[in-house]
Amino acid sequence: MSVRKPPLNKANLMLQQEAIDAVRGQTLAPRGHFIDGRSIASDSGDVLDIISPIDGAILTSVAAGSKADMDRAITSARSAFEDGRWSKMAPAQRKKILIKLAELIERDALELAVLGVRDNGTEINMAYKAESLSAAGTFRYYGEAIDKIYGQIAPTANSVLGLIHHAPVGVVGAIVPWNFPLMIGSWKIAPALAAGNSIVLKPAESASLSLLHLAKLASEAGVPDGVFNVVTGKGSVVGEAMGLSMDVDVLVFTGSGATGRRLLEYSARSNLKRCYLELGGKSPNIIFNDAPDLAQAAKVSAAGIFRNSGQVCVAGSRLLVQEDIHDDFVAEMSRHAKDFKVGNPLDLSSQIGAVHSLSELEANLQFVQTAQEEGAQCVAGGKRILSETGGYYMAPTVMSGVKVEDNLHQNEVFGPVLAVTPFKDEADAIRIANSTVYGLSAGVWTSNLSRAHRMIEEIKSGVIHVNTYGGSDLTVPLGGVKQSGNGHDKSLHAMDKYFDLKSAWIQL
């Protein structure tokens, strides 16, 4: 049984690092799927090696799922839903189990964080809060919410009673990415379970470990067998099988636009399952010359693009700076970029961890090269950092002089690469901000309240930050517009995806 580790706080710094060191080098046995309440090997017997970005070495392996594995998990989820072991359980009882799961996540918080860092490279300070503690809070939030969601009575004529019920949709398929698997996975799993659905989860093949551990904790908390299943493997195999299944009612996904399009095609070719997609962004962060504190704006903006090596869907990856402060602000951003300590993500002194994989690192460096060929200037970073541990590390990079039509301006890098573009006035800033196919997040720095409201109205984005960047809690939804997707995670609005509205028309 796992022992609850001491919380990470500066007052206990040496013990923190010792606690991390105690689990960071543990040998990890190969992992199977989690189906019908137990761990099983793949139907084919095949496995996928998990390469740690910390040192580039094989960490462990997970089952390389087959279509038969996915079909088995979906069948298990369907059986569990139809017999009512969870879907017909009283909401107050589901609440108790989900809150118990939150407590178990907190108990294993450090173990889960270290497990995730070893297979995706996020710095431990961020992983502990954004992965483990965030996941615990998410399950507690939706557990507390579920017995407080009521149906409605329609304002009908006196002779008729119109009732509106919330009914669970059935089997939910979820596909989550590698950058924050536990946090993003919980955003989908917790409300789906709270609503009474069964779920089949397909993690990223390179970042499955913390979610497999979560499934075991769910079973320990009392989630019945078959209600929460995890199938690991390649998207081209098990992801496709999930998308084409006639027995998955709703599919939720966070990842690339190309994969999102395939999932929509799979829906059209199968049972027209509803698909809710969060497809990333190229978020503008706009600095006006009347920003209340330009030094603070630079500090927060640097964290908003470089933390987690830029591997954040809402990262402020396009910096738009008003012309008369452009040069000074870019210099300040470059100073922050050079000051970040990049290193082993399991060391508490590291501010930025590893790039997730060698292929991601190479893609990041290619973006830098292409930007230079298109006329941009690299004023900070732009290179791979060779670490004594090996692994995949990149210097935080600032590219100045990026034009609207440039590749770096238009396409998501998903790495620590910032594209800087000057603008003249408010209208110019709006034009540039809206000049990509994405619309997930944005930031505006200004002391002018009227301007702030105008920018909120005019920028086509699901999330707008004003005089800050990043940071929110479960009370507000996260979702995009344009090709950043549809639907929302977080907040009570996330529950909408996991309920069917059922109307009852009763003659009195």
pLDDT in tens, 301-348: 999 999 999 999 999 999 999 999 999 999 999 999 999 999 999 999
How many other β-carbons are positioned within 10 Å of the β-carbon of residue 207?
A: 27
Collapsing DSSP to helix, strand or coil, 51 comes out as: strand
Chain mean position to CA 177:
7
How many other β-carbons are positioned within 10 Å of the β-carbon of residue 238?
A: 28
Q: Is the dihedral of CA 382, 387, 390, 393 positive or negative?
A: negative
Closest to 152 in 3D by CA, of 163, 141, 144: 163
CB 317 within 8 A of CB 419: yes
Catalytic residue among 278, 332, 360, 412: 278
Secondary structure E strands in 279-434:
284-287, 318-322, 377-380, 384-385, 393-394, 397-400, 417-423
Taking phi over 0 as left and psi of -120 to 50 as alpha, with beta for the rest, 382 belongs to left
Helix (H) or strand (E) holding 369: helix 358-373
Q: What is the pLDDT of residues 390-409, one digit of tens each?
A: 899 999 999 999 999 999 99
Q: Where are the domains of the chain?
A: 32-279+485-504, 284-472
* Alpha carbon distance 287, 319 (integer Å): 8
DSSP string, 119-171: HH---HHHHIIIIIIHHHHHHHHHHHHHTT---EEE---TTEEEEEEEEE-SE
CB 301 within 8 A of CB 419: no
Assessment of whether the complete model's pTM goes beyond 0.75? yes
* Alpha carbon distance 260, 253 (integer Å): 7
pLDDT at 12: 46
Reply yes or no on domain 284-472 having CATH 3.40.309.10: yes
pLDDT at 11: 42
Pairing verdict, β 384-385 and 393-394: antiparallel
Alpha helices in 162-310 (DSSP H): 181-194, 209-221, 240-244, 257-269, 294-306
CB 316 within 8 A of CB 443: yes
Residue 302's φ and ψ, nearest 5 degrees, are: -65, -45
* Alpha carbon distance 504, 161 (integer Å): 8
Q: Is 278 a catalytic residue?
A: yes
Name every residue whose Cβ is closer than 8 Å to that of residue 275 and which is 6 or more positions away in sequence.
Answer: 250, 251, 252, 253, 260, 263, 264, 267
CB 498 within 8 A of CB 168: yes
CB 104 within 8 A of CB 153: no
Residues (pLDDT < 50) of the chain are 1-6, 8, 10-13, 15
Closest to 266 in 3D by CA, of 247, 244, 286, 288: 244
CB 422 within 8 A of CB 402: no
* Alpha carbon distance 121, 55 (integer Å): 10
CATH number of 32-279+485-504: 3.40.605.10
pLDDT at 389: 80
pLDDT at 157: 84
